[in-house]
Chains A and B, each alone.
Chain A
């Protein structure tokens, strides 16, 4: 990690918590956890409250579908850490074939029509936010997506366009497949909020 002091300045209870994670998992906590617990009221607490609500709160999109959106955006942003982390959750929920198919080409992946419309919006919003017009929203409506469903898609995009940049700027270490799978299990079980 490029800013090593972020791994040292945690409150006592968080030092204990991260130590327990290390003991339970048999490996150092992921760099994302170090960042989220560093001055947690500045970023970690409010950020994970937002993420938890969007990825685990009530939605017309399943948890797996929202994680698939997260993986897709992270892949567009070329963030290996986030694409691997959330891709492992999709593998565990929707299957690794779907993850691979979407990352290869979402247009030909076996997606239900509302989800395909969501991916069209996500692609433009991630790569060319200035080009997003009402047509992409209306196309989603035509496939049965509600306004709240579109809002959820927009928030997933905003979340990952934020954290992808932090992960790459700080240079998070990339876990191996077993590490990603272990983190995916915990994120499915516990969610995101560090509150």
Chain B
């Protein structure tokens, strides 16, 4: 799927609208470097600073367990509220994109399998399944 808006595509298609969103969140103006937003969106935990790692992991796997303390800890070590907001949105979008990519890949694989499958031969219809008039016609032929 396109990672940046493609002006040749239908700009109301969901894929195009997602690409616009992704571009704004990860590459648009912000108080956090774009590179950091990309890193947290893709959950590259080995590249995430230590104090951010637990927050990203919680957000990605079980956001309902996130706590006041986790957010407070980030603010305490120097991240601004605006930066925490951007990082939160970036991680969440990364989780959404993971589902989008997985779903679209499954559609593509289904297409490939469909194209590779041999055409099914016409099914023989048992005589007893045909209406009486059909049986009569076939018998007369």
Residue tally, chain A, CB below 8 Å to B: 53
B14 is contacted by which of A46, A50, A163 (Cβ under 8 Å)?
A50
Which residues of B have CB within 8 Å of A154?
99-100, 103-104, 107
Q: Known A38-B85, A57-B12, A77-B63; judge A50-B103 contact (CB<8 A).
A: no
B103 touches A162 (CB 8 A): no
Task: List, in ascending order, chain A residues with CB within 8 A of B12's CB.
Answer: 53, 57
Q: Are A151 and B25 in contact (CB under 8 A)?
A: no
Q: Is the CB of A2 within 8 A of B14?
A: no
Residues of B with C-beta under 8 A to A4: 81
B92 nearest in chain A by CB position: A165
B66 to A, closest residue via Cβ: A169
CB atoms of A138 and B113 under 8 A apart? yes
Q: Which residue in chain B gives the minimum CB-CB distance to A5?
A: B81
A63-83 CB contact bits vs B (8 Å, 1 = yes)? 000000000000001110000
Q: How far is the CA of A41 from the CA of B68 in the complex (A)?
A: 27
CB of B135 closer than 8 Å to a CB of A: no
Q: Is the CB of A158 within 8 A of B18?
A: yes
B20 at the interface (CB under 8 A from A): yes
B40-74 interface code vs A (CB 8 A; 1 in, 0 out): 00000000000000000001101110101001000
**CA of A54 to CA of B100, assembled, Å:** 13
Closest chain A residue to B108 by CB distance? A134
- Of all chain A residues, which has the CB nearest B29? A42
Residue pair B71, A162 in contact (C-beta under 8 Å): no
Nearest-neighbour CB distance to chain B for A148, whole angstroms, equals 10
Q: Distance (Å) between the CB of A76 and the closest chain B CB?
A: 11
* B71-A2 in contact (CB<8A): yes
Q: List the B side residues contacting A184 at CB < 8 Å.
A: none
Cβ contacts under 8 Å, B62 to chain A: 78
CB atoms of A125 and B24 under 8 A apart: no
**B110 located at the interface, meaning its Cβ lies under 8 Å from any Cβ of chain A in the complex:** yes
- A: residues with CB less than 8 A from B are 2-6, 38-39, 41-43, 45-47, 49-50, 53-54, 57, 77-79, 121, 125-126, 129-130, 132-134, 136-138, 141, 147, 150-155, 157-159, 161-166, 168-171
Query: Can you report 15 residue pairs joining A to B where beta carbons are below 8 Å apart?
Result: A3-B85, A125-B102, A126-B99, A132-B105, A133-B109, A137-B107, A151-B103, A154-B107, A157-B99, A157-B103, A158-B18, A161-B99, A162-B93, A162-B96, A164-B63
